[in-house]
Amino acid sequence: MRLTRILSGGADRHLTWHWAFALIGAFMVLFGVLNFAELPLGWKDRTDQIGGYLDATVGLGPEWVPATLWGMKSIELLLGLVALVAVARRDPRFLVAAILGWMVVMTGMAGMDIWANDRAELQEHTVYFAAFAQLLIVVVALGLVRPARHLLARLDRTVEEPRVRVPEQREVTPRS
């Protein structure tokens, strides 16, 4: 299948757009953009946190902290932009991709929390993962409502009730 067909939302789309996706998409855009924007505000806290993770897990020194932090925040911004594309194109596949991306990020962070023995952050990232999992369930469920209704209507039209044959009656004309 060609990439242009996939990106164009061709006839093979299974999920359909629901009005609630605009609200979910707006939340996802704000979540990604604000997570990126908080980088200058919380630079010291984040560098300490990431430095502790890198030191406790893979043994990398403080010289790796800025690159790791910028890389993580860039991924978060990218996920926010993917959600923006979903809302702009009214395509739930991009919204699903953004939600799955956040689930992957939270899984990675939870793994680092376990490895670094940081239980408070593990709880936070687990709650975020559960929230994104619930958003994914809502998007998939709402996205499949309309196709399911169309499928049921089509099946209803194709299944006909058995017909009872009524013998034809001929008109009787009086003979004169």
108 in a structural domain: yes
3 in a structural domain: no
Q: Is the pLDDT of residue 8 over 60?
A: no
pTM as predicted: 0.74
6 in a structural domain: no
Tell me the C-alpha distance between 6 and 100, whole Å.
18
115 in a structural domain: yes
Instruction: Calculate the CA dihedral of residues 134, 140, 143, 144 and round it to 10 degrees.
Output: -130
Angle at 54 between CA 128 and CA 32, to 5 degrees: 35
Q: How much is the average pLDDT of 63-80? A: 92
Q: How much is the average pLDDT of 163-170? A: 67
12 in a structural domain: no
Q: How much is the average pLDDT of 30-56? A: 87
Residues 6+ apart with CB under 8 A from 51: 62, 65
123 in a structural domain: yes
73 in a structural domain: yes
Tell me the C-alpha distance between 71 and 157, whole Å.
54
Full residue range of the structural domain in which residue 76 is found? 17-156
Domains in the chain: how many in total? 1
User: DSSP code of 58?
Assistant: T
Q: Which of 91, 92, 72, 95 is nearest to 82 (CA)?
A: 95
169 in a structural domain: no
Tell me the C-alpha distance between 57 and 108, whole Å.
13
Answer with the residue of higher pLDDT: 161 or 18.
18
State which of 1-15, 40-54, 83-97 shows the largest mean pLDDT.
83-97
Q: Is the pLDDT of residue 139 over 80?
A: yes
Tell me the C-alpha distance between 108 and 16, whole Å.
30
